[in-house]
Structure 1
């Protein structure tokens, strides 16, 4: 035990340089993983939003066709604005097996994340009576 007046060397309290560097390395690794996870979560959220809006566009198109009189087999296309974005849709109407229903495939395309071209975001199929 050291007394206040003794000449024995005192051990200083605190962290050594090596301990501080190891702690900083651990914190840097943890922050890097956190930043990567946050970026992936943002991308996933954006893709889910894209798919949801595209399915709403397709559902709206099917609802419009259900109100239309005299559907005929064929292909049509158009544009819709929803959620602050422009969407292109293509509708393929064909006879369903059995001949009592129309099969309607609605393909919705929007601008892909980070790309300038339109990419298919969703394909939705519905059936309506003939």
Structure 2
């Protein structure tokens, strides 16, 4: 009589299921890496925009005479193309100054927005 030998190893179905699970896990890992890279780039852009806004407010504090009104100008930071929108309004003995920084290459919400008050001298 011939005895049945038990085959050792994995069946084709088991191997295919394992490969499918690994493929799903790898796709999720690649997606997470992509999202993290995009978030890192946005954080860098926001930091540079905040630096541009702070620089503009420092310049305005040093100016002898402020004038009410709105002004739009380029405020690039290195290779990052930015557009600054400055609004100055008189509020009694103070000027309220707002600086908003936008990405000049596309329509998007502001990357930075700062408001301060400067005393009229």
TM bucket by the smaller chain?
Answer: 0.7 to 0.9
Structure of larger gyration radius: 1
Q: Which runs of 4+ in 1 moved over 4 A?
A: none
Equivalent pair of 1:58/1:106 in contact (CA under 8 Å)? yes
Q: 1:100 aligns with which of 93, 99, 103?
A: 93
Name stretches of at least 5 consecutive residues in structure 1 with no aligned partner. 1-5
2:73 and 2:34 map into 1 onto residues whose CA distance is: 34
Higher strand share: 1
> What residue is the counterpart of 1:3 in the other structure?
none
- Structural RMSD (CA): 1.8
> What residue is the counterpart of 1:61 in the other structure?
56
* TM-score normalized by the length of structure 1: 0.81
> What residue is the counterpart of 2:65 in the other structure?
70
> How many residues are paired up?
119
Q: 2:81 aligns with which of 86, 106, 109?
A: 86
Name stretches of at least 5 consecutive residues in structure 2 with no aligned partner. none
